[in-house]
């Protein structure tokens, strides 16, 4: 009797264990696996532009842009002369630096360059004082009045008489240079620039720039002049 009871209890225990095993075996985990694989390769976007990839080890880095960045300050543009004015000044400096044979930055009297350029090539005529034609002393009157605020008498000889004598090695921009081209005293005058060059109204070329060492002008040179103190 006791052995029959023991066998019955053992059978009940075996049947219960088999049902549990079948339940566990029949459970479907495919959804969990699929979800894990899907999440493993997906990128997620977070605030402030921080981007990470799930399932990987990364260091976060904030994205930056050049446009509209809050950490970059725009520099204010300096107040300066207009672009046209600057370009014109630079052009005149370069143009006349070639004629005077000095660095362009050394020609910094822009009003003088502008006046020379305005009158450049104007033909010569005795007694002339206009843009149609002008003579040497008429031209020096214009330059000294407009640029150096000095009023001069009309003729080259009168201008020479007004000035303090200056040796050639002491000449500076704005001094007058005098010549005897006719054998009758001072008959020609120009305005000294730099580097032995002077601007004047020449009988053959009109308003032009010439070197004091020129073979025609050098022997006729009679000295420089500067306004008396």
Rounded-to-integer distance, Cα 218 and Cα 227, Å: 23
Rounded-to-integer distance, Cα 63 and Cα 50, Å: 7
Handedness of CA 158, 227, 211, 89 (dihedral sign): negative
Rounded-to-integer distance, Cα 81 and Cα 41, Å: 60
**What residues are paired with 208 via a beta bridge?**
200
Kindly give the pairing relationship between strand 221-227 and strand 176-179: antiparallel
Catalytic residue list: 136, 188, 200
Handedness of CA 205, 210, 214, 216 (dihedral sign): positive
3-state secondary structure of 179: strand
Rounded-to-integer distance, Cα 16 and Cα 40, Å: 39
């Amino acid at each position: 009797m006791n052995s029959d009871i023991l066998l019955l209890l053992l059978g009940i225990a075996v049947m219960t264990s088999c049902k549990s095993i079948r339940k566990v075996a029949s459970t479907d985990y495919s959804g969990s696996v699929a979800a894990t694989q899907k999440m493993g390769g997906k990128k997620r976007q977070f605030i402030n532009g921080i981007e990470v990839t799930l399932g990987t080890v990364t260091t976060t880095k904030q994205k930056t842009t050049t446009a509209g960045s809050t950490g970059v300050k725009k520099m204010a543009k300096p107040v300066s002369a207009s672009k046209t004015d600057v370009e014109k000044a630079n052009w005149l400096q370069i143009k006349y630096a070639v004629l005077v044979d000095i660095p362009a930055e050394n020609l910094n009297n822009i009003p003088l360059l502008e006046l020379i350029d305005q009158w450049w090539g104007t033909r010569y005529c005795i007694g002339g004082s206009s843009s149609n034609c002008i003579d040497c002393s008429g031209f020096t009157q214009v330059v000294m009045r407009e640029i150096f605020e000095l009023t001069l008498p009309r003729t080259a000889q009168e201008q020479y008489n007004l000035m303090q004598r200056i040796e050639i090695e002491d000449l500076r921009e704005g001094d007058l240079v005098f010549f005897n081209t006719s054998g009758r005293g001072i008959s020609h005058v120009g305005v000294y620039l730099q580097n032995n060059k002077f601007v004047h109204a020449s009988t053959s070329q009109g308003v032009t720039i010439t070197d004091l060492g020129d073979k025609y002008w050098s022997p006729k040179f009679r000295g420089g002049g500067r306004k008396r103190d």
